[in-house]
A and B are shown apart, each in its own frame.
Chain A
Amino acid sequence: MELILRPGSSSMVQDYHGQKLAEQIFQAVIVVFAAVGFVWGYYCEQFVQTIYILGAGFALSCVLTLPPWPIYRRNPVSWQKVVDKSEMQETTSAKKSKRKERSK
């Protein structure tokens, strides 16, 4: 499932701010639906109505927060530039030569 939603690119996952926002959204949705369902179930004396409304809140929060909607991708992680391989070799060889000098 992850592969379908993230076809080789990290821009299709929720970033860290997006994950926090998603958590806040689904908690708020489920708690509001639970409160409304509790009052409605008490009013019509059917606890099963409370459970149905909570289930609706579950479904809605799944739709809102499961997929990586654009709203959860507004703060992408900025990675460092890829370091060139030849440069890395140069730096390591330079270090080695320094060490040799010191040991002498």
Chain B
Amino acid sequence: MNSVLSRANTIFAFTLSVLAFLTFSCFMTTAFNTNAANITVRTSDHIVKSAFTPYGARADRGFFSLGLKADLEQIFNWNVKQLFLYITAEYESENNKLNQVVIWDKIIPRGAKSNLDLKTIKIKYPFFDDGQTLKGKDNVTLTLSWNVIPNAGLLPRIVGTGNTVISFPNEYTR
């Protein structure tokens, strides 16, 4: 503290300690948020095709259109940078107890429109089955989940309430 440089060093170190405390406090103000929201997922035009995966294996491939309603505005607060939304299709098959396929995702940055009302969107990623069991499958569950990306703190993964169970027709579409 006797010279200018040592005072500058002390002030800077003290400021950084205070900043660390503030950042942790910011996390604590949002640590107990549920980050929950009600969502509605609708689908239409379910078809299933017999196709080949990029690796040359024959596999069933599902197609459908999505509609999505989700009001995520109340999730945003001063400790949220962005939301990462994704829709997974989950079902059971003979080979696997649980298949999980991510078929669509979206990033909502801070300040962007977060009250979503998407009428008809195509699924974003190919929905390949592991094998040929998708034809006639009648309990494929679609779930919308999201990660809350914070400025500081934990990275919560939230599963939206309001699952949609869809089925695929018994015939392949050519």
Contacts and interface: CB of A to CB of B under 8 A. Distances in A.
Interface of A: 1-2, 5, 13-14, 19, 22-23, 26-27, 30-31, 34, 37-38, 41-42, 45-47, 50-51, 54, 57-58, 61-62, 65-68
Contacts, number: 70
Interface in B75-102: 76-79
Contacts of A22: 1, 7
Q: Which 7 pairs, one residue from A and one from B, show the smallest C-beta to C-beta distance?
A: A19-B1, A45-B78, A58-B15, A34-B18, A47-B78, A26-B11, A2-B3
Contacts of B3: 2, 13
B5 A50 contact: no
A29 B13 CA distance: 14
Contacts of B23: 47
B4 interface: yes
Given A1-B4, A23-B1, A41-B78, A50 B22 contact: yes
Interface residues of B, number: 25
A51 to B, nearest CB: 7
A13 B2 contact: yes
Contacts of A26: 7, 10-11, 14
A13 B1 CA distance: 10
Contacts of A62: 8, 11
Nearest to B81: A47
A47 to B, nearest CB: 5
A26 B8 CA distance: 10
A2 B78 contact: no
